[in-house]
Protein backbone atom coordinates (compact mmCIF):
# COMPACT_ATOMS: atom_id res chain seq x y z
CA UNK A 1 0.00 0.00 0.00
CA UNK A 2 2.81 2.37 0.85
CA UNK A 3 4.52 1.92 -2.50
CA UNK A 4 1.28 2.66 -4.37
CA UNK A 5 0.79 5.88 -2.40
CA UNK A 6 4.32 7.08 -3.13
CA UNK A 7 4.06 6.26 -6.83
CA UNK A 8 0.74 8.11 -6.98
CA UNK A 9 2.33 11.08 -5.21
CA UNK A 10 5.24 11.08 -7.64
CA UNK A 11 2.91 11.00 -10.63
CA UNK A 12 0.80 13.84 -9.22
CA UNK A 13 3.85 15.92 -8.32
CA UNK A 14 5.40 15.67 -11.77
CA UNK A 15 2.07 16.29 -13.47
CA UNK A 16 1.51 19.33 -11.28
CA UNK A 17 4.99 20.60 -12.06
CA UNK A 18 4.12 20.79 -15.75
CA UNK A 19 1.40 23.32 -14.93
CA UNK A 20 3.29 25.18 -12.22
CA UNK A 21 6.17 25.78 -14.61
CA UNK A 22 3.66 27.19 -17.07
CA UNK A 23 4.74 28.59 -20.43
CA UNK A 24 8.39 27.94 -19.72
CA UNK A 25 7.65 24.24 -19.42
CA UNK A 26 5.28 24.03 -22.37
CA UNK A 27 6.99 26.16 -24.99
CA UNK A 28 10.65 26.64 -24.08
CA UNK A 29 13.31 25.60 -26.51
CA UNK A 30 15.64 22.84 -25.38
CA UNK A 31 19.34 23.64 -25.33
CA UNK A 32 21.27 20.89 -27.08
CA UNK A 33 24.80 20.52 -28.44
CA UNK A 34 26.92 23.66 -28.32
CA UNK A 35 23.99 25.77 -27.22
CA UNK A 36 21.87 25.08 -30.30
CA UNK A 37 18.09 25.06 -29.83
CA UNK A 38 15.56 22.51 -30.99
CA UNK A 39 11.93 23.65 -30.99
CA UNK A 40 9.23 21.37 -29.66
CA UNK A 41 7.91 19.17 -32.43
CA UNK A 42 4.22 19.87 -31.75
CA UNK A 43 2.46 23.16 -32.49
CA UNK A 44 1.76 25.18 -29.35
CA UNK A 45 -1.99 24.81 -29.84
CA UNK A 46 -1.66 21.04 -29.58
CA UNK A 47 0.69 20.60 -26.66
CA UNK A 48 -0.36 23.60 -24.56
CA UNK A 49 -2.74 21.43 -22.53
CA UNK A 50 -1.00 18.09 -23.03
CA UNK A 51 1.46 17.54 -20.17
CA UNK A 52 1.67 13.77 -20.66
CA UNK A 53 1.83 11.89 -23.97
CA UNK A 54 -1.50 10.12 -23.46
CA UNK A 55 -3.13 12.02 -26.34
CA UNK A 56 -0.19 11.78 -28.73
CA UNK A 57 -1.21 8.72 -30.76
CA UNK A 58 -1.91 10.95 -33.74
CA UNK A 59 1.26 13.02 -33.36
CA UNK A 60 3.01 12.94 -36.74
CA UNK A 61 6.36 13.56 -35.01
CA UNK A 62 6.36 10.20 -33.22
CA UNK A 63 8.46 7.54 -34.91
CA UNK A 64 7.03 4.17 -33.87
CA UNK A 65 10.06 2.31 -35.18
CA UNK A 66 12.29 4.36 -32.91
CA UNK A 67 9.88 3.85 -30.03
CA UNK A 68 10.34 0.11 -30.49
CA UNK A 69 14.14 0.39 -30.60
CA UNK A 70 14.26 2.75 -27.60
CA UNK A 71 11.82 0.62 -25.62
CA UNK A 72 13.80 -2.53 -26.34
CA UNK A 73 17.08 -0.89 -25.41
CA UNK A 74 15.71 0.50 -22.16
CA UNK A 75 14.11 -2.84 -21.29
CA UNK A 76 17.38 -4.69 -21.90
CA UNK A 77 19.36 -2.21 -19.80
CA UNK A 78 16.87 -2.35 -16.93
CA UNK A 79 16.84 -6.15 -17.06
CA UNK A 80 20.65 -6.29 -16.96
CA UNK A 81 20.81 -3.91 -13.98
CA UNK A 82 18.09 -5.87 -12.21
CA UNK A 83 19.99 -9.15 -12.65
CA UNK A 84 23.20 -7.48 -11.47
CA UNK A 85 21.57 -6.24 -8.29
CA UNK A 86 19.51 -9.40 -7.80
CA UNK A 87 22.63 -11.57 -7.75
CA UNK A 88 24.53 -9.16 -5.50
CA UNK A 89 21.84 -8.27 -2.95
CA UNK A 90 18.40 -9.81 -3.15
CA UNK A 91 18.51 -13.35 -4.55
CA UNK A 92 19.14 -15.33 -1.33
CA UNK A 93 17.92 -12.69 1.07
CA UNK A 94 14.14 -12.53 0.63
CA UNK A 95 11.80 -11.53 3.44
CA UNK A 96 8.32 -9.98 3.88
CA UNK A 97 8.19 -6.31 2.91
CA UNK A 98 9.44 -4.12 5.75
CA UNK A 99 10.55 -0.53 6.37
CA UNK A 100 13.86 0.41 7.96
CA UNK A 101 15.59 3.79 8.17
CA UNK A 102 19.37 3.88 7.89
CA UNK A 103 20.74 7.36 8.73
CA UNK A 104 23.95 5.90 10.13
CA UNK A 105 24.62 3.48 7.27
CA UNK A 106 26.75 5.87 5.18
CA UNK A 107 26.39 9.06 7.23
CA UNK A 108 23.47 9.79 4.85
CA UNK A 109 25.96 10.16 2.00
CA UNK A 110 24.06 7.44 0.17
CA UNK A 111 21.19 9.91 -0.31
CA UNK A 112 23.37 11.79 -2.80
CA UNK A 113 23.68 8.54 -4.74
CA UNK A 114 19.91 8.07 -4.80
CA UNK A 115 19.37 11.64 -6.02
CA UNK A 116 21.95 11.30 -8.77
CA UNK A 117 20.74 7.83 -9.73
CA UNK A 118 17.25 9.13 -10.47
CA UNK A 119 18.62 12.34 -12.03
CA UNK A 120 21.01 10.56 -14.41
CA UNK A 121 18.50 7.82 -15.26
CA UNK A 122 16.02 10.56 -16.14
CA UNK A 123 18.54 11.94 -18.63
CA UNK A 124 18.70 8.66 -20.54
CA UNK A 125 14.94 8.19 -20.50
CA UNK A 126 14.59 11.76 -21.76
CA UNK A 127 17.06 11.05 -24.57
CA UNK A 128 15.08 7.97 -25.61
CA UNK A 129 11.76 9.83 -25.59
CA UNK A 130 13.15 12.77 -27.58
CA UNK A 131 14.73 10.41 -30.12
CA UNK A 132 11.35 8.70 -30.48
CA UNK A 133 9.72 11.98 -31.49
CA UNK A 134 8.21 13.38 -28.28
CA UNK A 135 8.56 17.12 -27.85
CA UNK A 136 11.04 18.44 -25.30
CA UNK A 137 8.52 19.27 -22.58
CA UNK A 138 6.79 15.91 -22.67
CA UNK A 139 10.09 14.00 -22.93
CA UNK A 140 11.46 15.80 -19.88
CA UNK A 141 8.32 15.13 -17.86
CA UNK A 142 8.09 11.48 -18.83
CA UNK A 143 11.85 11.04 -18.47
CA UNK A 144 11.80 12.44 -14.93
CA UNK A 145 8.88 10.21 -14.01
CA UNK A 146 10.61 7.13 -15.47
CA UNK A 147 13.94 7.85 -13.76
CA UNK A 148 12.36 8.35 -10.35
CA UNK A 149 10.13 5.31 -10.81
CA UNK A 150 13.12 3.10 -11.70
CA UNK A 151 14.99 4.14 -8.57
CA UNK A 152 11.83 3.75 -6.50
CA UNK A 153 11.47 0.20 -7.83
CA UNK A 154 14.99 -0.61 -6.59
CA UNK A 155 14.10 0.76 -3.16
CA UNK A 156 10.94 -1.36 -3.13
CA UNK A 157 13.04 -4.45 -3.86
CA UNK A 158 15.21 -3.52 -0.88
CA UNK A 159 12.04 -3.67 1.18
CA UNK A 160 11.82 -7.40 0.43
CA UNK A 161 15.44 -8.08 1.47
CA UNK A 162 15.96 -9.15 5.09
CA UNK A 163 19.35 -7.41 5.34
CA UNK A 164 18.10 -4.16 3.85
CA UNK A 165 14.59 -2.73 3.99
CA UNK A 166 12.55 0.02 2.37
CA UNK A 167 13.92 3.41 3.40
CA UNK A 168 11.59 6.42 3.28
CA UNK A 169 14.61 8.71 3.13
CA UNK A 170 16.00 6.86 0.11
CA UNK A 171 12.60 6.91 -1.61
CA UNK A 172 12.28 10.67 -1.07
CA UNK A 173 15.76 11.12 -2.56
CA UNK A 174 14.70 9.08 -5.61
CA UNK A 175 11.70 11.36 -6.15
CA UNK A 176 13.83 14.46 -5.59
CA UNK A 177 16.33 13.33 -8.22
CA UNK A 178 13.64 13.00 -10.88
CA UNK A 179 12.08 16.33 -9.90
CA UNK A 180 15.47 18.07 -10.05
CA UNK A 181 16.03 16.77 -13.57
CA UNK A 182 12.63 18.08 -14.63
CA UNK A 183 13.10 21.63 -13.38
CA UNK A 184 16.74 21.56 -14.48
CA UNK A 185 15.58 20.99 -18.06
CA UNK A 186 12.61 23.32 -18.10
CA UNK A 187 13.50 26.40 -16.01
CA UNK A 188 15.89 28.74 -17.84
CA UNK A 189 17.97 29.86 -14.87
CA UNK A 190 18.37 26.33 -13.53
CA UNK A 191 19.79 25.12 -16.84
CA UNK A 192 23.04 26.77 -15.79
CA UNK A 193 23.41 24.13 -13.06
CA UNK A 194 23.99 20.41 -13.41
CA UNK A 195 24.56 17.50 -11.05
CA UNK A 196 27.61 15.38 -11.89
CA UNK A 197 29.53 12.48 -10.42
CA UNK A 198 32.88 10.71 -10.55
CA UNK A 199 33.68 7.16 -9.51
CA UNK A 200 36.83 5.10 -9.07
CA UNK A 201 36.75 1.61 -7.50
CA UNK A 202 38.16 1.24 -4.00
CA UNK A 203 39.41 -1.85 -2.20
CA UNK A 204 35.91 -2.30 -0.85
CA UNK A 205 34.91 -3.35 -4.37
CA UNK A 206 38.12 -4.86 -5.70
CA UNK A 207 38.63 -7.01 -2.56
CA UNK A 208 34.89 -7.45 -1.86
CA UNK A 209 34.45 -6.11 1.67
CA UNK A 210 30.66 -5.84 2.06
CA UNK A 211 29.01 -4.18 5.05
CA UNK A 212 26.63 -7.15 5.22
CA UNK A 213 28.48 -10.51 5.36
CA UNK A 214 27.65 -12.91 2.55
CA UNK A 215 26.74 -10.24 0.01
CA UNK A 216 28.71 -9.01 -2.99
CA UNK A 217 29.86 -5.40 -3.18
CA UNK A 218 28.71 -3.53 -6.30
CA UNK A 219 29.94 -0.19 -7.61
CA UNK A 220 26.59 1.26 -6.52
CA UNK A 221 27.45 0.82 -2.83
CA UNK A 222 31.18 1.51 -3.16
CA UNK A 223 30.65 4.98 -1.74
CA UNK A 224 34.32 5.57 -0.98
CA UNK A 225 34.98 5.99 -4.69
CA UNK A 226 32.04 8.30 -5.38
CA UNK A 227 31.91 12.09 -5.46
CA UNK A 228 28.90 14.21 -6.41
CA UNK A 229 29.04 17.72 -7.81
CA UNK A 230 26.77 20.67 -8.42
CA UNK A 231 28.41 22.69 -11.14
CA UNK A 232 27.55 26.20 -12.29
CA UNK A 233 28.02 27.20 -15.94
CA UNK A 234 29.92 30.44 -15.40
CA UNK A 235 30.24 31.16 -19.12
CA UNK A 236 26.47 31.16 -19.51
CA UNK A 237 26.05 33.40 -16.47
CA UNK A 238 28.53 36.04 -17.62
CA UNK A 239 27.51 39.13 -19.54
CA UNK A 240 28.07 39.05 -23.29
CA UNK A 241 31.05 41.40 -22.96
CA UNK A 242 32.84 38.98 -20.63
CA UNK A 243 32.02 35.69 -22.36
CA UNK A 244 35.04 35.83 -24.73
CA UNK A 245 37.37 35.79 -21.71
CA UNK A 246 35.99 32.63 -20.09
CA UNK A 247 36.04 29.19 -21.80
CA UNK A 248 32.56 27.78 -22.34
CA UNK A 249 33.66 24.38 -21.00
CA UNK A 250 35.19 25.62 -17.72
CA UNK A 251 32.91 25.72 -14.68
CA UNK A 252 32.94 26.11 -10.93
CA UNK A 253 31.28 23.63 -8.61
CA UNK A 254 30.76 22.38 -5.09
CA UNK A 255 31.23 18.70 -4.29
CA UNK A 256 30.42 16.18 -1.60
CA UNK A 257 32.19 12.90 -0.95
CA UNK A 258 32.45 10.31 1.76
CA UNK A 259 35.04 10.85 4.48
CA UNK A 260 36.31 7.57 5.95
CA UNK A 261 33.08 6.25 4.46
CA UNK A 262 34.49 2.73 4.08
CA UNK A 263 35.80 2.52 7.63
CA UNK A 264 34.65 -0.66 9.43
CA UNK A 265 33.61 1.52 12.38
CA UNK A 266 30.39 3.24 11.26
CA UNK A 267 30.92 6.02 13.80
CA UNK A 268 33.95 7.23 11.81
CA UNK A 269 31.98 7.64 8.60
CA UNK A 270 31.12 11.20 7.59
CA UNK A 271 30.95 13.57 4.62
CA UNK A 272 33.43 16.05 3.15
CA UNK A 273 32.76 19.23 1.16
CA UNK A 274 34.82 20.80 -1.62
CA UNK A 275 34.93 23.67 -4.07
CA UNK A 276 36.31 22.67 -7.44
CA UNK A 277 36.86 23.53 -11.05
CA UNK A 278 34.86 21.45 -13.52
CA UNK A 279 35.03 20.63 -17.22
CA UNK A 280 32.05 20.04 -19.52
CA UNK A 281 33.15 17.12 -21.68
CA UNK A 282 30.13 17.55 -23.94
CA UNK A 283 31.60 20.92 -24.92
CA UNK A 284 35.24 19.84 -25.06
CA UNK A 285 34.51 16.90 -27.37
CA UNK A 286 33.63 18.21 -30.85
CA UNK A 287 30.12 17.65 -32.15
CA UNK A 288 29.89 14.71 -34.53
CA UNK A 289 27.76 13.99 -37.56
CA UNK A 290 27.08 10.59 -35.97
CA UNK A 291 24.06 10.74 -33.67
CA UNK A 292 25.26 7.99 -31.33
CA UNK A 293 28.55 9.79 -30.75
CA UNK A 294 26.63 12.90 -29.73
CA UNK A 295 24.49 10.73 -27.44
CA UNK A 296 27.68 9.58 -25.69
CA UNK A 297 28.96 13.17 -25.53
CA UNK A 298 25.83 14.31 -23.78
CA UNK A 299 26.05 11.39 -21.35
CA UNK A 300 29.64 12.34 -20.47
CA UNK A 301 28.35 15.83 -19.71
CA UNK A 302 27.14 14.45 -16.37
CA UNK A 303 30.60 13.16 -15.42
CA UNK A 304 33.11 15.23 -13.54
CA UNK A 305 36.75 14.65 -14.43
CA UNK A 306 39.77 15.24 -12.13
CA UNK A 307 40.42 18.93 -11.58
CA UNK A 308 41.92 21.25 -8.96
CA UNK A 309 39.81 21.32 -5.79
CA UNK A 310 39.91 22.54 -2.22
CA UNK A 311 38.42 20.54 0.63
CA UNK A 312 36.64 23.00 2.87
CA UNK A 313 35.42 20.54 5.51
CA UNK A 314 36.32 18.66 7.64
CA UNK A 315 40.07 18.70 6.92
CA UNK A 316 41.01 21.67 4.69
CA UNK A 317 43.33 20.57 1.92
CA UNK A 318 44.17 21.61 -1.64
CA UNK A 319 44.20 18.97 -4.40
CA UNK A 320 45.85 19.61 -7.75
CA UNK A 321 43.77 16.78 -9.24
CA UNK A 322 40.70 15.59 -7.39
CA UNK A 323 39.33 12.99 -6.80
CA UNK A 324 42.33 11.24 -8.38
CA UNK A 325 44.94 12.90 -6.20
CA UNK A 326 48.68 13.05 -6.83
CA UNK A 327 51.14 13.90 -4.09
CA UNK A 328 54.92 13.91 -4.24
CA UNK A 329 55.32 12.09 -0.91
CA UNK A 330 52.57 9.45 -1.23
CA UNK A 331 52.27 8.92 -4.99
CA UNK A 332 48.96 8.31 -6.73
CA UNK A 333 45.79 7.93 -4.67
CA UNK A 334 42.60 6.95 -6.45
CA UNK A 335 39.33 7.63 -4.68
CA UNK A 336 37.69 10.54 -2.95
CA UNK A 337 38.12 9.54 0.67
CA UNK A 338 41.21 9.26 2.91
CA UNK A 339 42.94 5.89 2.94
CA UNK A 340 41.39 4.67 6.22
CA UNK A 341 39.16 1.71 5.54
CA UNK A 342 40.07 1.42 1.83
Query: Over the stretch 220-279, which tens digit does the pLDDT of each residue have?
Result: 888 889 999 999 999 999 999 999 999 999 999 999 999 988 888 878 889 999 999 999
* Angle between helix 110-131 and helix 136-158 axes, rounded to 10 deg: 140
Q: Which helix (H) or strand (E) holds 253?
A: strand 250-259
Quickly count: other Cβ atoms within 10 Å of residue 216's Cβ: 15
Contact (CB, 8 A) for 58 and 220: no
Question: Rg of the Cα trace of the chain?
Answer: 21
b vs e for 259-288, b when ≥16 Cβ sit within 10 Å of the residue's Cβ? Answer: bbbbbeeeeebbbbebebbbbbbbbebeee
| pTM (global) more than 0.85 | no
Percent of the chain residues past pLDDT 70, beyond the cut: 75
Structure confidence at residue 335 as a pLDDT band (50, 70, 90): low
CA distance 342 to 335: 9
Structure confidence at residue 297 as a pLDDT band (50, 70, 90): very high
Percent of the chain residues past pLDDT 90, beyond the cut: 40
Amino acid sequence: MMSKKVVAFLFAALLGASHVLGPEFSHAQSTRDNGSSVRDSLPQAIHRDTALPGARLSNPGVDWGRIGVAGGGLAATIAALHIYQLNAWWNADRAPFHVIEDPGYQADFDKAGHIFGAYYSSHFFDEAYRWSGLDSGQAALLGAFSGALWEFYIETEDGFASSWGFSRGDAKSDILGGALFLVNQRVSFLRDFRIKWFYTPTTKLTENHPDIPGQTVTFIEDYGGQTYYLRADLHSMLSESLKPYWPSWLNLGVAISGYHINAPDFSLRSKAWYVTLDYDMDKLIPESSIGFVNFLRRGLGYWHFPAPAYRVYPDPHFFLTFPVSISFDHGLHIGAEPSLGG
